[in-house]
Structure 1
Amino acid sequence: MVMDRVAFRELLIRYTSGSATAAERSMIDHWYELLYNNELPSLQQSELDNIEQEMWVFIEKEGNLAEPVVVYRSKRMKRLIYFAAAAVIICLVISGWLVFFNAASTMSYETSRQKDQLAETVNRTTIPQRINLEDGSYILLEPASTISYAKHFDTDKREVYLEGSAFFQVAKDATRPFFVYTSEVVTKVLGTSFDVKAFPNDNTIQVQVHTGKVTVYKRKNGAHEQELAKVNATIITPNQQLLFNRQQASFTRSVTALPQVINIPVNKNNIPFAFTDAPATEVLMALQKAYGITIIYDEEQMSHCSFTGAFTNESFFDRINLLCKAIESTYEQTDGQVIITGSTVKD
C-alpha cells in the first residue's frame, strides 16, 4: 500500500465526509489519538488543513525511523524513502488494528462476568439445573455449562451471559428485551423459549427456537460495529435454528432436525393429519400451520394433485417425504424453509 500526501489528504476527506471504510476510520482515529488523545471533531477546512499537516509530519517522522542508514544525496530519492516508510507505518497500523479488532470483536465469558459484576452459576452435575430469574423467566442449564446474570435486572433490559448450553423460557416483557450473550453471538427476545449452545471448543454456536421469535446477531465491542451487526441480524422462528461458524464468522439458518408440532390441525372430521382425496395444497397448508415452517410450492400446480392418507407418528420430514412420493414431487430445505418442486400427478 503506497500513500503519498495527496492520497493521505483524500483519506482525510473521506473520513470527515463519512465515506471512509471501517479500517480507514480506525486508522485515522489511531493517528489522531496519538497526537491529541481525543476524538476527531467535526472540522472546518482550515482546521482540516492544520490537522492534515500535523498528522503528515507525524507520519513522516515515524517513517524516518525506518529509513536506511545509507546517506542519499538525492532529495527526490529521500522523499521516495519517506513515502515508502510512511507506507510501511500505514500497513503496520492497519495490520495491528485488524488483529486488535478481530480479537476485541468478541468477548470472553469471564471478561463479561467481571465487567458487569454478575452472579454466577456453574452446573457441575450430570443433569440440567433449573435457575429461576426474578422476572419469572427460568433457565435449564446443561451440565458443564456456566451462566451469569444480575439478581435484579435493569429497568430497560434483561441480560445473561452463557458459556455452554442452556434452554431459556423467557417471560414476556415488551419494555425489557432479554439478551443472551455468548463470546461471539447475541440472542435477543421479548418473550419466548429457545436453546443456545455455545461451548468454547465447539466450531459452531447454535440457537434453536421452540416458540416465539428470536433475533440473533454477531457480538462486537465497538458501538459502531455493534450497530452494524444489529442491522444485519437474522430472525428465526419456531422449528428453525441458526448456526454460527466461528472460523468463517458466518450464519446459516435451517430447519431443525426434528421439528415439533406447535399447532395441531383439525380437518372437517376432527381427525388431525387425516386426508381423503384432499388437494396437495390442503395437506401442505396443514403441515405448514402445524409446524410453523414456511413451505414454498406452486399453488396452481399442487391444486391438481390429490392425497389420501393419515399421518400418525412420523416426523415432519417423513411426512413431507411421504407426500412428495404420493404426488411424485421432490423437496429441499434452504434458509429455514422447505421448497416443493416437480409435481406431475393429476386428479
Structure 2
Amino acid sequence: MTPEEFQELLLRYQRNEATAEEQQRIHAWYDRLAADSQEELPAAERPPLQAKLWSTIRERIDEPEPEIQIRPLRKAGWYVGVAASILLVLSIGLWFWTQSSVNSGQLAFHTAAPLITARGPQTLTLSDQSQVTLLQGSSLRYSSTFTGKLREVDLQGTAFFQITKNPEKPFLVHTGSLETKVLGTSFWVRHQPKQSYVQVQVVTGKVSVQQDQNQVILVPNQLVTYSREKPWLQTGLVQNPLVVDASVSMRFKDVPLLRVVERLEKRYGISLLIKQSALRQCPFTGDLTGLGLYEQLGMICQALNATYQSDGTQILLQGAGCR
C-alpha cells in the first residue's frame, strides 16, 4: 500500500465511510504501532520523532496482515481521534520524506505526483508533449504539469524517452542515484532498483548523466552504465549502433581504410581510430550496404588482415598493414 492509499483510507475512516474490514485493519495497525511504545511522550518531544514514526508506519502497513483477534471493541471516537493524529503525523512525515529525497538528489517534486505502472508497453504523453514509452512492470512518477525551471520525472524499470526540445527548461530523469539531463532528444533508460543498476542509451541528440560529482556527456549510439558491483560511470557503445546519417554510401572500390573509417564515423556518429599508420592507406573494396556496423567492420578486417575492438565510446582498428 502506498502512502497516498493509506492516507485516503484514514480519511475515509474519519468520514465514517470505511468498510468494516477496513476499520478492523486500521485498529489492528494502530494496536501494533502502539505496542512499540510503553509510555506517552510529552507534546514537546513529538516533533523530532515524527519522521521516524512515518518510517515505522510505512514499514508496518506493508507487513502481512495481522491475525484478527476477538477483543472488546473500543469506542469508535477513540479510534477516530487516533486516525486524526496519524493523519497529522502522516502529512508531516510525507513532507520530511519529500525533503529528504530532494536533499539526496532524488525527485524534487512532491511524491503525490501521478504514478503510472505499465502492465504492458504503454506510451504516455506528458504536458510538454514529450512521450515516454514504458515497458511492462516499469513505473513513472511525473507532474501533471511542469512548473518551475525543470521538467522532472522518476523512473523505475525501462523506458524510451522522446523529449520535446525546450532549452529554457531541461528535462531530468531520476533513476536511483543517477540523473539524466536533456534539452530535447530520444534515449533509453534501464533501471533495476534492487540491483542498483542503471543504463542510459542515447538514440538522438545529446544527454548529460550525473552521479554525485561525476558527469559524462553521451551522443547517439553511446551508453553509460552504473551498478552496485561497479559503482562508477562506465561509458561504452550500444550493442547494435543505429544509423545517424543514411546518406553515406557503403560501397567502396579501392578506397583507403582512412577514408572508409571517415564514412563509418559519419554514418554512425562513432569515433574509429586506426592504430598503425601503415594500415591507413590499405585499399578496401566491397559493398557493405544493409549490414550492421559490426558486420561491416568484420568484413573490412577480414579483407585487410586486421582486428577491431571497442574501447569505451570508440573503436580501435589495428593490424600489420596491407598484405
Alpha-carbon offset, residue 200 of structure 1: 1.9
The whole-number CA distance in structure 2 between the counterparts of 1:183 and 1:192 is 21
SS at structure 2 position matched to 1:290: helix
Equivalent of residue 237 in structure 1, options 212, 219, 229: 219
Q: What's the counterpart of residue 152 of structure 1?
A: 145
The whole-number CA distance in structure 1 between the counterparts of 2:278 and 2:296 is 20
* Overall identity of the aligned pairs, in %: 32
Moved more, 198-207 or 137-146: 198-207
The whole-number CA distance in structure 1 between the counterparts of 2:276 and 2:187 is 32
Does 1:290 pair with 2:267? yes
Q: What's the counterpart of residue 85 of structure 2?
A: none
Does 1:264 pair with 2:241? no
* 8 Å Cα contact 2:273-2:315 kept in structure 1: yes
Normalising by the residue count of structure 1, what TM-score does the alignment of the two structures yield?
Answer: 0.60
Post-superposition Cα deviations, 1:86-133, rounded to whole Å, max 9, x if no partner, equal: xxxxxxxxxxxxxxxxx9899698xx488443111111x23x101001
Equivalent of residue 132 in structure 1, options 115, 125, 129: 125
Which residues of 2 match residues 66-215 of structure 1 at below 5 A?
112=107, 115-123=110-118, 125-126=119-120, 128-202=121-195, 204-215=197-208
Alpha-carbon offset, residue 343 of structure 1: 4.1
The whole-number CA distance in structure 2 between the counterparts of 1:333 and 1:293 is 11
Alpha-carbon offset, residue 136 of structure 1: 1.8
Equivalent of residue 339 in structure 1, options 303, 316, 320: 316
Q: What's the counterpart of residue 246 of structure 1?
A: 228
Moved more, 193-202 or 292-301: 292-301
* 8 Å Cα contact 2:101-2:108 kept in structure 1: no
The whole-number CA distance in structure 2 between the counterparts of 1:205 and 1:105 is 19
The whole-number CA distance in structure 1 between the counterparts of 2:129 and 2:322 is 52
Which residues of 2 match residues 7-46 of structure 1 at below 5 A?
none
* 8 Å Cα contact 2:157-2:190 kept in structure 1: yes
The whole-number CA distance in structure 2 between the counterparts of 1:292 and 1:115 is 39
Letter in 2 for 1:120: L
Does 1:327 pair with 2:322? no
The whole-number CA distance in structure 2 between the counterparts of 1:156 and 1:134 is 15
The whole-number CA distance in structure 2 between the counterparts of 1:106 and 1:209 is 28
* 8 Å Cα contact 1:162-1:180 kept in structure 2: yes
Q: What's the counterpart of residue 41 of structure 1?
A: none
SS at structure 2 position matched to 1:233: strand
Post-superposition Cα deviations, 1:193-237, rounded to whole Å, max 9, x if no partner, equal: 00001022335211100001111111xxxxxxx5xx1xx201111
The whole-number CA distance in structure 2 between the counterparts of 1:105 and 1:158 is 15
SS at structure 2 position matched to 1:172: coil
Give the aligned length. Answer: 224
Superposed CA RMSD in Å reads 2.4
Post-superposition Cα deviations, 1:153-203, rounded to whole Å, max 9, x if no partner, equal: 124111000011100000111111100001121101111000001022335
The whole-number CA distance in structure 1 between the counterparts of 2:141 and 2:294 is 37
Alpha-carbon offset, residue 306 of structure 1: 0.3
* 8 Å Cα contact 2:109-2:143 kept in structure 1: no
Q: What's the counterpart of residue 3 of structure 2?
A: none
Normalising by the residue count of structure 2, what TM-score does the alignment of the two structures yield?
Answer: 0.64
* 8 Å Cα contact 2:142-2:153 kept in structure 1: yes
